[in-house]
Amino acid sequence: MSEISTRKVVLLDPGIASPSYERVLFQQHGYDFQVFDGKKGDYHKKLEVASDAVGLLIRFTEIDEHFLQHTPDLKAIARYGVGYDNIDLEACTRHGVRCANVQGYGNHSVSDHALALILATIRQLIPGQHRIYENFSAPPSEDIPELHEMTLGIIGLGRIGGTMAEKAVPLFDSVIASDPYVDQEKFREKGVANVSLDELLRESHVISIHCNLTEETRQMLNEDAFWQMGKRPVVVNTARGGIIQEEALLSALDNDRIRGAGLDVFQTELPEELNRDLVEHPRVIATGHYAWFSSRAQTELQKRTADNLLAMLRGELPGDCLNP
């Protein structure tokens, strides 16, 4: 496939950093590079701007059948990040649109963030800070365990989950994981036990989520799952918000079925739509979907996303291509 005459590339979801690399790269190759400057959730305005584009750079914009029907010149989409649940891959393939994510760039930053949320939740750092003036030398509660006494359960032993396991094995009494799509050799390599999801829910003192959001995993942690949790665990999610049913999580917190939660992702990417009862719960530590970020990870993410898009527009298949 050769580059076609219509040569407009649009960055639909700006905000990670200045798109200087992307702008220079695409202008050097003869593309009209544009950055969407409207409201984050304005789907119709985005569609209008993208209607004559051949390439798109996205983060959270929904790419569905309707969108593709109104972007007839579109040839390729590159997403900043690993997850691609906002892209209908089957529809893209039908329309001849190649798609790519960026795999592996955030293995360390996301696992670092998950560990930080685990430690901050167990050690009750936020409540401790809030009590520093009124009760300086006292802990915020008498219920603070130690990691070496605890079992960590990892849901999803892919790139990030595997990196998490490597970091966690020396810290915890034991590490178990559930991932039906990973062979037994990887479990042995990482030093973790291969268990079913039900066993992980029963036996884990800490649960860290690192799987993709699919129809299989959507709202995987629902009311039934929280009732199965036998050790009153800390639940940490740095993967995708849709994996947890938020009302069930809030109920589990309010009924003391879990010790606490560390959340970097939510059911919405729009701050004004966040569940404030959950975000502001006294046993929740919430961060604004920046677990992926480190100085190194940001540079790699920007460069590889733009490089992937250019490669697909030129008829090449980058290693991150999702529908070759």
Go through 122-157 and write b for each residue having 16 or more CB atoms within 10 A of its CB, e for each that does not: bbbebebeeeeeeeeeeebeeeeeebeebbbbbbbb
Antiparallel, parallel or unpaired: β 260-263 and 193-194: unpaired
Residue 269 bears catalytic tag: yes
Residue 289 bears catalytic tag: yes
Of the candidates 59, 257, 259, 289, the residue annotated as catalytic is 289
Give helix then strand counts, H and E, for the chain: 13, 12
Of the candidates 79, 240, 257, 259, the residue annotated as catalytic is 240
Tokens coding 106: 């955030």
List all residues 6 or more positions away from 309 whose beta carbon is below 8 Å from its beta carbon.
9, 55, 56, 57, 76, 77, 78, 100
Of the candidates 166, 199, 223, 269, the residue annotated as catalytic is 269
Task: Report the residue count for the chain.
Answer: 324
| Contact status, residue 55 vs residue 313, Cβ threshold 8 Å | yes
Rounded Cα gap, residues 219 and 241, in angstroms: 9
| Contact status, residue 105 vs residue 300, Cβ threshold 8 Å | yes
**Active site amino acids:** 240, 269, 289
